[in-house]
Amino acid sequence: MKVAVGQLNISYGDVDRNFKRGENLIKQARDEGCKLILLPEVWTTGFPFRQLKKLSTTTPQILEEIKKLSKGIMICGTYITDKPNSDKVFNTFYAILNGEIVFSYTKIMLFGLTGEDKYFSRGDLSQKNTFKALSTTFGVSICYELRFPELFRKASFDGALIHLNPAIWPKIRLDHWLALSKARAIENQFFFLTSNGVGLSDKWEIGGHSTIYDPWGEVKSQIKNEEGLAINDIALETVEDTREKLSSLKDSMDSFKELYF
């Protein structure tokens, strides 16, 4: 399965500009024969916190445009969505394929250091973070959730062979982004796709390094400090082969699944 992760310089609150840039990457990935593209966290808006409620009104139309672009390619990323009767919003992941939303997931773990918890409502901890599409099972987490291995274990125990993590991760903690991403791939023995922003987002410099990891934690494709795509034709049989050669995930499932899940 040929897949792509997109990397964008996300303009603070400039929905039209961000959408056009994302649209170009989607079309490029589709032209390259990719069956999936992962775009960064809140890629149409960024995080202008005081504008989020207003910006959430743009999301329904954006989703309709994404549906039009999704023939033959699954488009994944997160968006600001409204929480009715509240001054807060949600950070919602959508997977859209052939004109339909095939899965949604709301970010659970909010990054208090930047004030996410003041402006966002968290998703329900009991929600599923796996879905089936394109003849396989995908896991989902969002940015800060990279630091919580329980969410990844939950996805792998539920059958995920590919895990998707859209993010806006700062350059100041780039070493954590790379180390934790590699670890999540290795310990769960699946393909791990990360999509990050790049450049400046308000006062934050974003770290880039959107990457496709294989189940051994090896980098199959990566885009470092510029906008664009990282593309790889992944062989899903590698997951089964890895798990046969090293039984750590099976041993974990046999020992801990009943205890924790």
Options 35, 116, 143, 220, the catalytic residue: 143
Options 34, 35, 76, 107, the catalytic residue: 107
Question: By residue range, what is the domain housing residue 176?
Answer: 2-260
pLDDT at 112: 87
Options 34, 35, 41, 154, the catalytic residue: 41
Tally of structural domains, the chain = 1
pLDDT at 37: 99
Can you give the chain as a three-state secondary structure string? CEEEEEEECCCCCCHHHHHHHHHHHHHHHHHCCCCEEECCCCCCCCCCHHHHHHHHHHHHHHHHHHHHHCCCCEEEEEEEEECCCCCCEEEEEEEEECCEEEEEEECCCCCHHHCHHHHECCCCCCCCCEEEECCEEEEECCHHHHHCHHHHHHHHHCCCCEEEEECCCEHHHHHHHHHHHHHHHHHHCCEEEEECEEEEECCEEEECCEEEECCCCCEEEEECCCCEEEEEECCCHHHHHHHHHCCHHHHHHHHHHHHHC
Q: Is 227 known to be catalytic?
A: no
Q: Is 34 known to be catalytic?
A: no
The CATH number given to whatever domain includes residue 180 is 3.60.110.10
pLDDT digit string (tens) for the chain, length 261 residues: 999 999 999 999 999 999 999 999 999 999 999 999 999 999 999 999 999 999 999 999 999 999 999 999 999 999 999 999 999 999 999 999 999 999 999 999 999 888 899 999 999 999 999 999 999 999 999 999 999 999 999 999 999 999 999 999 999 999 999 999 999 999 999 999 999 999 988 788 999 999 999 999 999 999 999 999 999 999 999 999 999 999 999 999 988 877 766
pLDDT at 86: 94
The overall pTM is greater than 0.95: yes
pLDDT at 217: 98
Q: Is 107 known to be catalytic?
A: yes
